[in-house]
Amino acid sequence: MNPTFANPTPARSVLFVCLGNICRSPLAEGVFRSVLEASGRAANVDIDSAGTNGYHTGEAPDPRSIAVARRHGIDIAGQRCRQLTAEDFDRFDLVLGMDQINMTAIERRRPQSSSALTGLFHQVALGAAVQIPDPYYGGETDFENVYRMVLAASKGLLSRF
């Protein structure tokens, strides 16, 4: 985690990052947007998601992520996958990875001049160095578990906005 994360300055933008931007990060984008809207804090907050690879660029999220979000009243079907870019480190205050593998890739791509704060989503939000597992090769239960983890972290992240 970036050591400057203790900075209490409120964030105005957040980018959620996983490997392919089809399972975890689109779900985090949708869930966090929903949590912000429910709190009345969504105005002027930029929320997006990206992947550390470009395998699925332009595609919709995984149908299982769309389904689990829909079961909880969140629509992520209109999102499109994209790859993390150097410009993202200028556009977003917070760049949050879902697991340590993606954090390593995030830090490798981070321009030296960037002031963006980076860290594991769950750790930044809740203080526990928990990685959000990739449910891609799992089933419905795995996607539901990721949803619950993302929801808890999203509620914790709310205090930064």
Instruction: Please report the beta strands in the chain, taking only residues with DSSP state E, as ranges in sequence order.
Output: 13-18, 46-51, 94-97, 117-120
Catalytic (active site) residue 18: yes
Catalytic residue among 23, 24, 64, 82: 24
The CB density around residue 25, as the number of other CB atoms within 10 Å, is 33
The Cα 81–Cα 20 span in angstroms is: 7
Catalytic residue among 48, 62, 88, 134: 134
The single-letter DSSP state of residue 4 is G
Catalytic (active site) residue 82: no
The Cα 20–Cα 53 span in angstroms is: 6
Catalytic (active site) residue 134: yes
- Name the residue type at position 48: D
The Cα 150–Cα 128 span in angstroms is: 13
Q: Return the active site residues.
A: 18, 24, 134
